[in-house]
Amino acid sequence: MGKTFGTVMFLIVGACLCVLFLVVYPGGDLCRLFQYTLVLLCFLHTFLHRSQSFEGLLCLLAMLFTVLADFFLVALREAQWLLGLGVFCLAQLCWAVRLLLMERGKRRLVHLMAWAGVCGTLLIVAVILARGGDTLLLMGAVYASLLLTTVLFAWAGARNFLFTLGMTLFLGCDFFVMVNNAALYLDLAQHPLLSALHAIPFNMMWAFYGPSQMLLALSSARRTKPVR
């Protein structure tokens, strides 16, 4: 009963915070305050309701890294993008390991080999680009690759629907992060679709990100059934 009540209150408070930073205060210091409060709330829910297993510990670490990443990207008046993305990569690695633990037998081996290939490729690309590339762009590419790979494996396995849906919304958030920062690297006048998406008068990043973190926090309390 207590666990159910806590989850219901989490959903109500989380939904209210989403309304506050998306509709009532769509910009400014109050917006950032409510956004970061939601991230902290998701961490607290994970801490209190996570499964008592190594998988639950990974969820807690992932949410902790998310709190730290959003401290650099949201809580601070001037976002520290390089630090934020670096910590977000650690969060994605925790989610990736959690996803790996959901697999059994040959599926786990295939999953592990695929991840080794992704990480090896990213390492090679990083070494090549680091010699003269944009460090922030490189870090963003590494992070996006980790997130996209996790989402693809989550749908391929579909072991925990809340987790899969949460990671998919996470990807939707970062798609709009990319759109909003495209003007730094592209002439939007030559890309009508990107220009139209960039001009949407609504915070699409947090419309995806807030619910994604709530779903990931809720997924931490679920015990998944192994597939043999």
Single pTM value for the model: 0.88
As a whole number, mean pLDDT of residues 2-15 equals 90
> Residue 137 in contact with residue 84, Cβ under 8 Å?
no
At 27, phi and psi to the nearest 5?
-160, 165
Task: Report the percentage of the chain scoring pLDDT > 70.
Answer: 89
Q: For position 227, what pLDDT does the model report?
A: 38
At 191, phi and psi to the nearest 5?
-130, 85
Which element (helix H / strand E) includes 107? helix 105-129
CB atoms within 10 A of CB 154: 24
pLDDT mean across residues, the chain: 86
Give the lowest-confidence range in 7-16, 69-78, 95-104: 95-104
Q: For position 9, what pLDDT does the model report?
A: 95
Q: Which amino acid is at 41?
A: L
As a whole number, mean pLDDT of residues 126-141 equals 71
Task: Report the percentage of the chain scoring pLDDT > 90.
Answer: 49
DSSP E strands, the chain: none
> Residue 163 in contact with residue 154, Cβ under 8 Å?
yes
pLDDT digits (tens, 9 = 90+) for 208-224: 999 999 999 999 985 54
* Nearest one of 85, 86, 108 to 97, comparing CA atoms: 108
Predicted confidence (pLDDT) at residue 125 exceeds the cutoff of 70: no
pLDDT digits (tens, 9 = 90+) for 15-36: 999 999 999 999 999 999 999 9
Instruction: Take residue 46 and report the two structure tokens written for it.
Output: 């994970």
* Nearest one of 222, 227, 170 to 59, comparing CA atoms: 222
Q: pLDDT band at 225, cuts 50/70/90?
A: very low
Q: pLDDT band at 150, cuts 50/70/90?
A: confident
Specify the residue for token string 């297993």.
53
SS3 content of the chain, % helix, strand, coil (to 5): 80, 0, 20
Domain residue ranges of the chain, discontinuous segments joined by +: 2-219
Q: Please measure the distance between the N-terminal and C-terminal CA atoms of the chain and give it in whole angstroms.
A: 33
